[in-house]
Amino acid sequence: MSFRMNVAQPILTLVFNSACNKCNKTLSILHKALEQQPGIFSLDVLDYQKTPLTQDQLRNIVQYLNIENDLSKILRNEDGTTKEGDTASKVEQPKSIQELANIVKEQPIRLQRPILVDWDKGRAIIARPAEKVDGFLKELGYTKE
C-alpha cells in the first residue's frame, strides 16, 4: 500500500506597488517561473499601499533580511531614492519596529520595494534589481539553472 502525505505548497509574498517598474518586472519574473514550473509555489501579491504591512510582518521581514541592527535599510529617502553613502543622514533612522511601522504607515512610499518573502523558510530579499529574484528562487530550491 502506498500513500502520499499532503505537502503544503510554499507561499511567497511579493510586497508590491503597481506604480513601480521594478515591482512589475519582479512580478513578471515570478509569473514566468510559475509558467515554467506550475505549482512550485503559490504567489501572494500584497499591495502594501492598500493593505499595509502589520508590525509583526515588518518584524519578520526585518529578521529575514537580517537588518535588525539597521532598520533604515528597508526605507527609501523621502525623495524616493535609496539610501547610499552620506545620504543616510537624511533618512529618519527608526530605532524600533514600532517606529518603522509608523514611518511606513504615514509614508508608505518610503518602504523599499519590491520585497519577496518566503514565510516558511524565513527568507526575504529586496529585489533591486528585479533579476535578484532568479537567484533567490534557485537558492531556495524552487527553480533550477
Provide the domain limits for residue 15: 11-139
Does the residue 2 lie in any domain? no
CATH no. for residue 21?
3.40.30.10
Average pLDDT value for the chain = 88
Instruction: Quote the Cα angle for 105-68-140, to 5°.
Output: 95
In a domain, 145, yes or no: no
User: What is the number of structural domains in the chain?
Assistant: 1
Ramachandran angles phi, psi of 40, nearest 5°: -65, -30
Structural domain includes residue 92: yes
Q: pLDDT for 11-31, tens place per residue?
A: 999 999 999 999 999 999 999
4 within domain boundaries: no
Q: Is residue 1 part of a domain?
A: no
Tens of pLDDT along 49-87?
Answer: 999 999 999 999 999 999 999 999 999 986 545 555 444
The verdict on residue 16 lying in a domain is yes
- Collapsing DSSP to helix, strand or coil, 11 comes out as strand
Q: For residues 50 and 79, is the Cβ–Cβ distance under 8 A? A: no
3, amino acid identity = F
